[in-house]
A and B are shown apart, each in its own frame.
Chain A
Amino acid sequence: MVIEQYTIATPPKYNFPQPTIDEALPQRLLEQSMGSLRYPQRQHFQLNQQSFQQSAKIDLHAETLQLGMQPILLKPIHEETQIAACDTSTIKIGETSTGILIAVRGANVWKKHRSYKYNRFGPFIFHITEENKKEVYDAIERAYFVSGRVQGHPGIVNLMQNPTRIASLLERWLQATLSGMLNEGIVLFDGSLTAGTVDTPIERLRGILVKARECKNVVLAFSKITNLRAKGRLITDLALERGTPYLLETTGLRPKPPIVLLGDVYVARLSHRSFAFRLDIDKEDPYEQRIEALGKLIGNDVLSQGYPETLRLAHILCTFTANEVIAMQHFVARRCGLIIINRPDMHRLLFGPFGRGESYS
């Protein structure tokens, strides 16, 4: 059975100052998605789901990390500023006898004139096998990141790493798109500005930041979770409660090569009685521009619990709900004629209530 080919129609345009959008990546994602789905025809399909966390543990020499205890106070600047954010999400929706079925989705969100708008890409569903895992990844990477490709990198060694890597490609593409589309705005990233990893070659992230600077945008990267510790304690726990938003500088953080930090690391508590987050700001941005950008963020976006609403929405919009997982399972079962089976969970089977198998929603 041949899977129907889709005509790709990207959203006509963003409601952004620049009208065009590079559609190469979604198109290649779709091609690879459709291509990979040709092969699981009539196979048995084990329904289970597992979310992949994209935050890989990165080796940083944090022993020398120090947290500046003199807060940089931030004042809201209400001058209207475009704020945009992006995030991606990936999930395993099932297994076949030869591989796994995954879904990837990304979202761009921006706030303009007090209202939020979004563009969402996906879900793209892939059937990843040992045979096609490299081909799928390389094809998608080639579609956009030709210049930033790491020649001779170890490639994809593990099938289970593949979903996060595909999602990471999509995320970098979204970040690059936003960085080049906004003008004098604020671009919010989910995560840090750490480069030199398998997923994030230095040139790739640097290219995105250069693009942002060219358009006079400031990139603010928020990490929801951090492992950085100063004096044995998490840097976000060291931030004290104050009446006004503030920033704490960090010093002495030396990443282990080939890891590179393209941003300066701060601890930001952006609203009263809220959480503190690790915040990375592009090293090349002047200090005043950074403070001004944070002031504009506070003055223009909702900061519930100290986290920008735009970024929260980006995360929410791309995250898969149980309902969507069922819908995607329904889709692949119908399109690929997969035979759904419910393989017993060996942990539960062998150990009964003491077994800890994968959790089923």
Chain B
Amino acid sequence: MKLYRKEGNILQILSFPNETVEKGDYLLVEDMEARKALIAQVIDVQFASVPGVLEELLRSLPDGGELVLGEDFDPLEIASHINYIQDASLLVCKIRATVENENLSPSSSWLPSRSQSTIKRLPVPTLLKLARIEGKLPIILGGTKDSSLLTIDASHLDGRLNIITGKKETGKSHLSKLLMINLVGYKATVVVFDLNGEYISLGMTGDGKRNAHYDKIHVLTPGQNFKTALKHVNLHVLLGILIHALHLPGTSAREFRRIWQSLRERDMLTLHELGEAIRNWNCNQLVRDALSSRYHALINSGFFTDSVCEATLLEDSLFKAEEHGGAIVINLKNTSAIDRQVVVEYVLGRLVEQLTSWKIKATFLFAEEAHLYLRETYWDDIVTRMRHFGIFTTFITNQPDTVKENIYRQADNIFLFNFTNEHDLEVVSRAARVDAETVKSIARDLPPHHCLVLGKVVKDFPMVVKVKAMDVKTMGETRLFFKDMN
């Protein structure tokens, strides 16, 4: 390989056919005299602009595109040299860091010698060592191209905002399960909003047996094993549900607050009493109608109960998880859109409550397709306010434009799977922790189950990893009509 050009933080390197370098690979451009080296990542592989190639290709086509067949008496074997030159490639690389005395700095301000520099592939393990990516709480994400393991430190997910995105069936949920299981393994508390019931069998192996995580996976299905009694709900949590999930107007909310206080003073916080109170409350008819419709929405959700023994205290699951590590999977499958928002509003409200009162330390929240249940104002809340309370969110989506732009800007880690759509790539490339060229160039060519890891977990050295398999029962498979026929 030969250094050809440097423009800004882009290096162009001439590579010959016997040097197999692919997109995503790291190269070390070492200038021995300067005692420095550049670490650059290949973001595109192009044909080198060799003069005469067009003529070379054209002359094999006489007319009508038919190939001229023949034999070459080429005793000096010049043809191999021609092919060697013709197949030379130009590696477009992004400079990621400078190595000087085994220390890394993000600088790309110096120019290595074009004639004297040596260029070689930088194996991932060496880079990991140089960048000190592995930590005390390792999570093995999978294998890199050179058959080494990519291990990140769980602490780099702590306090961070993460995004897992990619088009359908590329392995997003699989990675989120992997992260989740590993976090639980390190005794972390994880809450999952499971839209499709994909996480409910994480405690089972592929053949349906209990695995090591069985006791740490707590699946809560609203209306079934996840119900709440009114007396366990704080007013502001319920008001949050009414206002944000059920869109109760402000005037009506004020009346509801009075009703609630009245019932609480009389220790009559039951669904039945609440219904009666709304019906008999001395207020404007429109307000009563508004309250009444929301009341029936709460009833119909099946999430609220008057039976205290039927009610599940979310806090119990949280405390249990806090003690040994565990995942609380909120199974939102078969839950209507309104009920989903009610449940999510409740869970988030309770979580914030527990966190603000320091009853629990911190929680990792995994939210699949959050736009389907997260209210508009929560996006900002999650990246600013809730993060300070200790809710560290990982968004998982196959529609990157549903995640607000400021989320991308503030995301600390992005796990990017394949996208071919320009628009999707454009959205993701707004992330502050990576340059648009890298995202667009590498993500487009990622095979299924391969993920481009960006951000703090890899110390801003984007890396491609084939996410490792797990022995858990997968529930995210799409139900197919023709499955049995194939």
Contacts and interface: CB of A to CB of B under 8 A. Distances in A.
Contact of B78 (A117, A328, A361): A328
A313 interface: yes
A122 B81 CA distance: 13
Contact of A326 (B51, B70, B75, B76): B51
Interface stretch (A134-142, A199-207, A237-245, A315-323): A315-323
A323 B76 contact: no
B73 A327 contact: no
Contacts of A11: 71-73
A309 B56 CA distance: 17
A33 B51 CA distance: 26
B14 to A, nearest CB: 12
Contacts of B66: 115
Interface string B50-80: 1111011001001100101111111111100
Given A321-B55, A323-B53, A323-B86, A309 B71 contact: no
A327 B84 contact: yes
Given A317-B59, A323-B82, A361 B51 contact: yes
B73 A324 contact: no
Contacts of B52: 321-326, 361
B403 to A, nearest CB: 48
A122 B84 contact: no
B172 to A, nearest CB: 45
Interface residues of B, number: 26
B75 A118 contact: no
A120 B84 contact: no
Given A302-B63, A323-B82, A323-B86, A117 B76 contact: no
A331 interface: yes
Contacts of A124: 75-76
Given A30-B75, A122-B74, A302-B63, A330 B84 contact: yes
Contact of A327 (B63, B69, B75, B85): B85
A244 B66 CA distance: 28
Nearest to B69: A117
B78 A323 contact: no
Given A321-B56, A323-B52, A115 B82 contact: no
A227 interface: no
A116 B73 CA distance: 17
Contacts of B62: 116, 302, 309, 313
Contact of B73 (A121, A309, A313): A121
Contacts of A120: 70-74
A304 B63 CA distance: 10
Contacts of A327: 78, 81-82, 84-86
A26 B68 contact: no
Contacts of B74: 120, 122-123
A154 B392 CA distance: 92
A119 interface: yes
A40 to B, nearest CB: 15
Nearest to A318: B59
Contacts of A118: 68-71
Contacts of B59: 313, 316-317, 319, 321
Contacts of B72: 11, 119-120
> Which of A33, A123, A125 counts the most chain B CB atoms within 10 A?
A123
Given A120-B72, A323-B53, A326-B51, 9 more contacts: A120-B71, A120-B73, A124-B76, A125-B76, A309-B63, A313-B68, A324-B78, A328-B81, A330-B84
27 contacts: A8-B75, A9-B73, A11-B71, A11-B73, A26-B73, A117-B69, A117-B70, A119-B73, A122-B73, A124-B76, A125-B76, A125-B78, A304-B63, A313-B62, A317-B68, A321-B56, A322-B52, A323-B50, A323-B55, A323-B56, A324-B56, A324-B78, A326-B50, A326-B52, A330-B85, A331-B78, A361-B51
Q: Sort A-B residue pairs by CB-CB distance and give the 5 closest, nearest first.
A: A322-B52, A118-B70, A321-B52, A323-B52, A322-B51
